[in-house]
Structure 1
Amino acid sequence: MRVIEVLGPLQVRRDTDGEAVDVGSPRHREVLAALVVDAGRVVSTDSLLERVWGDVGRGASTSNLHAVISRLRGRLSGAGIDVAIATAPPGYRFDPPEAVDATRFQDLLARGRSATDAGDLPAAHDLLHAALELWRGPAYADVRLPFAEVEAARLDGQRLAACELVVDVELGLGRVAPALDRLPALVAEQPLREAFRRQQMLALYRAGRQAEALEVYAALRTLLAEELGIDPGPELQELHRRVLAQDEELGATPAGSDAPAPTAYAPAPTAAPLWHSEVVVPADELVGRDHDVAHLRDVLTASSQRLVTVTGVGGVGKTRLGHAVAEASRDAFPDGVALVSLAPIADPDLVLPTVGRAFGLSAAEGLDPLDAVAQHLRSRRVLVVLDNFEHVVDAAPALARLVAVCPRLSVLVTSRTTLRVRGELHYQLSPLDLPGADDDAPASVAGSASVALFVDRARAVQPGFAVAADNAAAIAGICRRLAGIPLAIELAAARTHLMSPAAIWERLDRVMEGSGARDLPARQRTMRSAIDWSYRLLAPEQRELFRRLAVFHGGFTLDAAEAVLGDARDTLGLLEDLVAHSLVLRDADHPGTVRFRLLEPVAQFAAEVLAADADEERDARDAHLAHFLRLAEEVEPGYRGDGTRDALATTEREHANLVAAIEWALASGQGDLAGRAAWALWLFWWLRGRLLDGRRLLQGVLAQDVSDPVRVRAHAALGAMTFAQGDMALARTWCTGVRLARGSGDLEGEAHNLAGEGLIALAENHLDEAELRFVETVRLTEEAGLAGEWLWTLAHIWQATIRLLLGFPDHAVPLLEEALAAARGRNDPLAIYIALFTSVQVAVSVGDLATARTQLEEGLALSLDTGDMANLAYFLEALAVVESQEGDHERVAVLHGSAARLRESVGSNVYGYYQPDQQLLADAIAAARTHLGPAYDDAVARGRGLGAEPTVAYATAPRSALLD
C-alpha cells in the first residue's frame, strides 16, 4: 500500500484505483506533510504549530490545528484512504508508515545495500532500480516550509547515494551500457561530485573509450580549478594514472558476471577513526531529543547536504544535541569525528586553524589555513561539529569554502544565528514538548519531554522523585513557564531538594514577571530569567565566585578559581555549591586533572553581572592575568628540559585562558605583562603551530608603549612566528630587534634576534652570511652567561648544518658533539633530536650507516615522546635513505608512506635546510619502485595505515623480526 507520495509534489492517491484525492487548502497539505515526515511517531501539538505556523506557532491557537486535523480526517476517510491520524498525547500520529512512498524508498535502498554487501548483485540491482522508480521530482516540492526542506535534503541525499550504488552494481555486473546511459544526467546534476566522474571514467574505459575517459578527468580538473581553485582528489588522480597506463586491473568484467568489478581505487588502510571532543557536556541522559538526533544523523550521513546549522535560543540544548549527533554518527564517518568548541575563540580567522588542530594539524596556522586544512580533509570522510559559532560568524564564508573543496566532509554547526552561506541547511531546534494546556493528570503530565527532563534532573538531587497527584500541576506549570527550555528546566529541578515544585513554581512566576528586557525575544527572556533566578538564590559568597568565574575561557582548575576569588575562603566548597545548583559543570574530559566549566549561556550571564561592577571586574581580570602569567613563566622552562610532554600538555589545556590573559593585559594598558606572557609562550606557539595567535598577540605588544627588554623579545618571538609561516618580509622584524637590543645593551635579546637573521640567510642559501650570524650568536650567549643553554646549542647545530651544506661534514662533527653534550646535560629532548637529525645527515654523507641508524632510532623515540609528528616524519624519511643503501626496499616504501601520512596530518612546511638529502630520498624511492614493482604501492599504503607508535615500532624493529 502506497497512498501518500512525497517523492515529488505531495499527492494523496487511492490504492484501489490510483486516483488523486484533494485534501484541501495549502494549510491542510502542510499539516499533513508535518505529520508524514514523522510517520509512525507522535508529533506534539507544539511541534506541529511551530512547523506549520513558524515563529508564531506557539502563539497560534491550538483550535486552528484541531480544526485542520478534523477536516483532513474527514477528507481522507471520505475518499476511502486507509490511513489514520490518531490522537496520541501530547499530539498526533500518522499511521501506517508503509503508506508513504518515502518509507518504501528507504526500505528498498536498505535492502539493496544489504544485497550488495552480500554479493547478490542481480538482486541489489532490482531493488535499487525499484527504489529510484518511486521518484517523480524533488521531494516535498510544493511544501515550502523549513521542516520540509530539511527532510527533502535528507531524502535527496539518499537518492544520490542510491544512484551511485546502482551504477557501481551495474559496473559490477558488467552492464556498462546502462551505466553510461545513466551517468551523464547525474554528472550534469552534480558536476563536482567526484564519485560520478570516477564511475563515468571507469565505464568509458571498460567500453574501450579511453580517450573519452581521459576527457572526463580533464573536464573535471578544469571545472575544479575555475570554481574552487583546486585539483581533483587523490582517488581521481590515481584512476587517471591507471587509465593512462592502461592498467589491466581496470579491465571490463565479463557481461552477466555476478562478481563485483575491481574498484578504480582502493583507499589506503587507516588507523582507528579519530574521536576528538573538546565540547563538554554533562554525563547525564539526553532527554526528549531522540528524533532530532536521528534526523540530523540521517541528513549528515546520507545527504548531499553537508553543511547543517542548528539554531535555537540559548539553553535549548544545541551543544548537547551536537554531541549526541556526533556520537550517533561515528560509524558513518570512517575517518573520524571531531567536536570543536569555538566558545574560547574571539577571532574568526582562528576558526579553520582550530578545526585543523582537532585533526592534529599542528602547523595549520600558516599564511593560508584553508589550504592546510583542506589538503588534509579533502579525501577523508569526516564529520566536524562546530559548537557556539555565533560570535565568529564572519568565518562562515571560509567554512563554506572548506566544505566545497572537501567533497567527503560534513559539518554540523550549532549557533544562535544562521551562517547565511550557499549550501547551508538550517535546522531550528525547538524547546521540549510541554504538557497539554488543560490536562494536569499525572499520567498526561509525565508523558511530555520537558517533564521527563525535570524529573530526571530532580532525581539527581532527590532520589525517588516522581510525578504524583500532589505535584503534577506544579511541575507542568514550571515547564510551561520555562517554555520547555532544557537548561532553564534543569536549573529549576536542581532546587527540588530545597523546595517543593509548588514553591518553585510560585517563585518563578514572581521572578520572571519582572526580569529581562522587554525588547528581548520571549524565550531569551525566559532563559535569562531562569539563570537570574538561580543566581539570586545563591548566598553572597557564592554569587561573588560565580561572577568572577566569568573571566575564565575553556574551563578552569580549583587553583585558578582560588586565585581569582583572591582570599582564603573555602573556594572548593563554594564551587561544589555552584555545581549542585547546575551553574557550573565538572569537566570529566581531563583525566587526572579536575576542571570546571560554565555552559555558554551561563557564562554570558556571569559576564553581564560581573561587568556591572567595573572595580570588581578589573580586580578579577587582573587576578586572572597574574595567575596565568605565573603559570606561563613556570611552565616555559619545561619545553626545553625534563617534562617536555607535560609542559606542552599543560599549556595546551590552558591556552584559551592564557590568550585571554594577554588580551586583557593589552586592553588594560599592561603591555609589559602581555609581553612577558607572550615571550613565555612563543616556543609553544611555534611547536604546536599556533602561529596566528602568536603573531596577533605579539603585534599587539609591539603596538604598545613597552619597556626595551619586552620590545626586543617581542621582535624575536614575532620573527619566529612569521618565519615559520614562510613570511620572510615580516620575519625581518628580527633586524629591528637586533638594532634595539644593541642600543640598550641587551645581550640575550640581541642573540635571539641575531640568530633569526641567520635563519633567514640560511633559508635563502646565503651560507657565509648565515654562518657569521650564528658565530656571533654563540659569542653573545657566552658573554651573557648562557653558554650551553638552548640558543647556544641551536647556534652550534646551525653552524654544523652550514658546514655540511658547504661540503665539509668533518667540520660539522665537533660542533654537533658540543651541541649534543650540552643538550643531554640539561635533558633537552627538542635540542637533542634537532642535533641528532643533522648528525644523521653527516653520517649518511660519509657512509657511516651504523651510526646514522643508531641516531635515527634515538631521534624517532624522542620525536614520538614529545608528540612532534613533523619531526618524526623527517626522521622516517632519513631512515628510508639508510634502508635503501642497505637494500631493504620494502621498508623504504613503508617508511615513505608513513612519513607522507604524518606530514599531511600536521600540515608542516619543510625548511630546505632541515630535511633528508632530497636527491638521496628520491633515489631511494625510485629504487624501491623498481625492485618491488606492483608491490610498491601496497607497501606505501601499509605505511600510510600505520599510526605513529606502530610506525616507530616497525622502524626500529630488527630486520629479522620483520621477516619472522
Structure 2
Amino acid sequence: MLIRLTGLVTIERDGAAPRHLSSAQTQVAFARLVMERTGGTSRDHLADTVWPEGLPDTWASALRSVVSRVRGFIAGDDINASPPIIAQGGRYLLRLPVGAVVDVEQAETDVAQATEAFTAGEFADAERLAAAAVAVLERPFMPDHDGEWPNSVREKLGELLVSALETASLAASALNDERNSLRFADEAVRRAPLRESAHRCRMTAHVAAGNRAEALRSYHELRRMLAEELGIDPAPETQAAYAELLGSPVVAPSRPRMTKSRSNGGSAAPFVGRRQELARLSATWAQVEDGACHMVLVTGEPGIGKTRLVTEAARRISVSGGVVMYGRSDSGSTVPCQPFVEALGGYVAATPTDSMPDLSQATQETLTGLLAAEHLDELGSSKRAELLLALTELLVKVARDQPVFVVLDDLDLADDDTLVMLRQVYRRRFGTSLMIAATAGAPGRRPDAPDHFAAAIHDVDREGWLRRIPVTGLAEADVRALIRRVLPETSAGQAPPPHQLIADTAGNTFLLLELLRWHGDPDPARPPMPSGIVEYASARLSALDSAPRQLLRTAAAAGPTFELDIAAQAAELSTADAVEALDALVCESLVAETDGEFTHEFRFVHDVVRRAIYQQASAARRRWLHTRLADAIELRRAGELARYSRTMAHHRDAGAVPHGDQRAVRWGWRAAARASQDGAPNEAVHLHRQALEHVPAADVELRAEALTNLGLAQLAAGHTDCEQTLLDGAIQALHNGRLTMAAQAALGLADVVLSRPRMRSEAVALIEILLKSGPAAVDTVTVGRLLARQSQLGGSVVAGEQSTAALTAMTRELQLLEGPQDVKRRMNLAAEMQAVAAAVGDKYFQIVATHHRAMAAEISGDVILAGNAMVDLNTAIDIAIDAGEGDHVGAALRIDHTVAIAVTEGRFSDAAAVTQRVHRVPDDTDHRIAPVPGSMAARQMIVANWLRRSSWPDSPSTYEAAERSLISLVGGDRGLPHLTVRALATGVEPLPSGDEWPHIVGLLALGGVELGDPATAEALRTLLEPYADLNCCVGYRSFVGPASFHLGRLAVIVGDWDDAERHLTAALAGLAHRQARPWTALAQLALAQALEARGRAGDRRRAETLRAEANWTLASLDLQPQSA
C-alpha cells in the first residue's frame, strides 16, 4: 500500500486502481491520523485540525462522521478487514497494513540516506535518493486547508525539500552533472532566498560547470542581499566557500598539473600544521592592513602544500572581510598575464559597477573589451601592452582603496608579460595596501625559462618588499593530525605509523593524502599503488630531461638508496652526464645525499615515488635494469663483493631469466651465507628458497646442492620441515655422485633425528653408505663428522685407519679455526672429534678435542659453556693420567689454567707459586696444541705484574712485542712502546694469529690506556669492536679481561661516555661471574671516570659510589689505587 499525502491524496494498492479522497476535511483528518499513527491523535486535536476556524455545535457527531469516512477510505471494498481506526481513551489510533508506505515519510528517509551517501562519496546514489525526495516534496501538502497543524507540516516539509535540493545539487556537481546541479541549486535559492547553504550550492554548481566568475557573482549577490535585508555579513562557512573559489582547495602538485584525486569524495583536503608559515603570512597581512605593501614567495617541491597554505591564508583573510583575488599560471599557456587576468578578471566579474574604483576611460574600455575576449592568446603586442597597463592600474587603485590579498599560484610558470607586470606593480606599490602571495618551485628555478623568472624575482627583491617562506614536509605530530582528519576511526588502524609515512613521503602533503586515502579504501580490488601517486611520479618524470629521467628510472630499481657510479654504469651514462643528471634530480628534490658512512650514496626523498616509478616499468624492463645493476656492481666493486652479497642476490633474482639462472642461484647462496653470519637465519632460509626457484630443471646436481643448502638453513633456523628437504637433497646428491654434498645433508639430517627420530633409520642408512664409499669420495674431516653422528645414533665406531685419519684431519682443521673468528664452528667440530675419540678410546685425541672445546668456549665469553668444557677437559686429562698416556701435556695445560684463574681472582702469590712448578712440554711433531702447553703461565704473570704495578726482573726475547711494550710502559718508558702499540694497532706491524690474537690485542688495549692517546685508542677500538662479546685470552690458558672491559676503558680515552657506560656495564656483569675482583675494580674506576665526565643527573653520586667500592677492593687485594 502506498499513501500519498502530497498533491492529490490517494491510496494505491497492488492490482487496484488508485482511490482518491476529495473532501478537504476528510483529507486533513486522514493525513493527521496517518502521520501520528504511532501514538494516536486526541479527539480535540483532530477536531481543531478539521475545523481550524472554530468547532461546530455538533462537532462530536460531525467528527465521528469524518472518522467514519476515513475508515471507509482505508478499508475500501474489503468488508472482512479489521477496523483500521480504533477509538481508545479519547484518542484515535490508526492501523495500517504491514509494508504500507507514506510518501512524505519515505521522502524524509530518502533525504537522510542521500546525505549519508553523499558523505560516503556515493554521489550517484545521493543524487538519485535526493531527486526522488524532491519529486515528492515539490507537490503541495493540503493546499486547500489552513490551520496550525497543516501549516507546521508544510513548513517542515519545505525545509526538507530545500535540504533535498541542496544534496541533489551537490551530488550532481560531484558527478559533473552541470545541468541538474544548477537546476536544483536555483530551485533551492528560489524557495529559500536567505538560506546561505542554498547559495553555497549554487556557487558550487557554477564552479562544477567551469563558471568561476558566475560563482563569484553569486557570492557578491548574496552578500549584498544580506546587507540590504538583514544588515549582516555572510556566515563564516559562506565566506570560507568564497575563499576556496579563489584557489584550488585540493592540495596538488603545482607543476606539472595533475588530475586531482576524487577518492575523498571531492572534498577539500584538510589543513594541518604550517603554524609558523601561517603566522608569517598573518604578520605580513597585518602590516598590509596598516598600509604596507609586500610580496611573499612561498617555495617548495610539488605537492608539499604551497597552494594549500596560501589559499588557507586567503580563506582566513576573506572570512575577516579582506579582499582576496586568485590567479595561477599554467605551463605552456599563451594567455598574456594569465594569473593577473584570472585574479582581476574574477574581481571585475564579481564586483558591481558602482563598487569598482575610479578608472580612466581608456582603462575601462580596455578591461571591458579584452577581459571579455575569447582569444586573449591571439592579442598583438600593442593590445598586450594595453592589457598590462589596464590590469596594473586596476590592481593599484583597488589596493589604494582597501587592503588586497592576491594569490599568484605557480608564478615560476608565468609568461614574460606576467613578470613585466610584476615589476610594474613593484614600481607603483607606494600608497597601496597590497600583499602578493606567490608560489613557486625550488627558488630561482623555472623549467622553461629559469633566467627570466630568477631575474624578475631579483628585481623585486629590494628594500624588504620580497619575503621568502620555504615549505618543507609535515612533522610527525602534523601527520598524526592528518590521519585523524582523513581516516575514520574504524580505518585509522590500517594506516602505517606516522614515522613510516614520513619515511615514504618526506612529509609531502599530497603524497600523504593519497597514501592515507588508499589505506582507508576498503575495496579489495584497489590498485597496488595509489593512482594519484602514480600520476604524480609520471608528471615528475615527464618534466625531466632525458639523462636525469634515465638515471632516476635506473636508480628506482636499485632501491631506496643508490650509488651514483653504479647507477650511472647501469643507465649507460658517462660520468659527466651522470653528475649533471644528479644535480638536476637534487634540485628537483627527487633525490638527496645520504648522511651515512658512504658519501657517494644517494637516496630517494620520497620512497613511495620511487616505488611508483619502478611499478610503471614493464616486467621486461625491470629484469633488464636489475641485470644491468648487478653487472655494474660486479664491474665497479670487484674487490668488495662480499659487502654487496644481499644486493647482488636481489638484483640477480629480480633480473633472472626464465627457466633457470645459475647466477641467481649462486648469489642467493652467498647472500644466505652472509645472513647466517649476521644472525638472520630466517632470511637465510628465504634466500635459499629463492635460489632453489632459479635452478634450471635439467641441472640435477645444482638442484641437489640447492636442496641441501636449504635444508641446512632450515635446520639452523629451527624449521620443522627441514627433514624432508635434507633427505631429498641427500638422495639427489647420492644419485648424482656428489657424495660430499650428500654427506652434508646426512649430517644435518642426523642432527635433526637426535630430537625428532621420525627419519632416524634413513639417517643411519645414509651415513653407512657414505662411510663405505671409500676415502677418496668424501674428505677426511667430513668422514670424522659422519663417524661422530654414527656414534651418537647408537652405531659402533671401530678404531682403525679410517678413524685415525679422521681424527688427525679434524685436529688440523681445528688448528685452522683457532682465534675469535670461528668460535662456534670450532666448538662444534671439537665436540664431534671428542665423540669419535671417545668411541675409539684414543685418550690423547680426547685431550686435544676437549682442549679445543674449552679454548673456544672461553674465548666466546659464555661462562656456562666454558665451565662445562673445562669439566670435560679435566676428565680427559684424568683418564689419560690414569692410563699413563699424555699425562705431561694435561698437567702443563692445567698449570696454565690454574695461573690464569689465580691472576683473574687476584691471588697473585698462588699464581707465582704455581708458575715456579711449570715445565714446558716440547712441541709434538703435529703441532696439535699451540702455544706449547705450560708456556702461558709466565706470560700470564706479565698481566699479574701490570695489575700490581710491579717491575719485571727481565724481558725475555721470546715475549711478543705487545708484552715487551706493556712491561716498558709500566716501567715508565713511553717512546718506543708507543711506536710499537700504534704500529700493531693500525696494522703496520702484523699481529699474531690464532688463539694468541685476542690475548695480544688485550695487552695492546692495556697499553693503549696507559698511553692515553685518543688516536691509538680509537684504532684499538676498531680492532676490538667486532668481538665485543668475547674474552681477550689464549682460551682458558690466560686472561686479559673481556673485550667489553677494554672497549669501555678505551672509550673513556676518546671521550665517548655513553659507549664507555654501555661496555663497562656489560663487562662488570661478566666479571662478577668470574669473581675477577681486580678487573671489576678497574672497570668500576673507568665507569666512574666516564660518569663524572658526562655529568648527567645522578652520574656524580653513582661515580662516587663506584670509586669508593673499587678502591676498597684494590686495597683488600694489596693493589695500588688506579685512576682507571
TM-score over 0.5 for the pair: no
Q: TM-score, normalised by structure 2?
A: 0.31
State the structure with more CA Rg: 2
Q: TM-score, normalised by structure 1?
A: 0.35
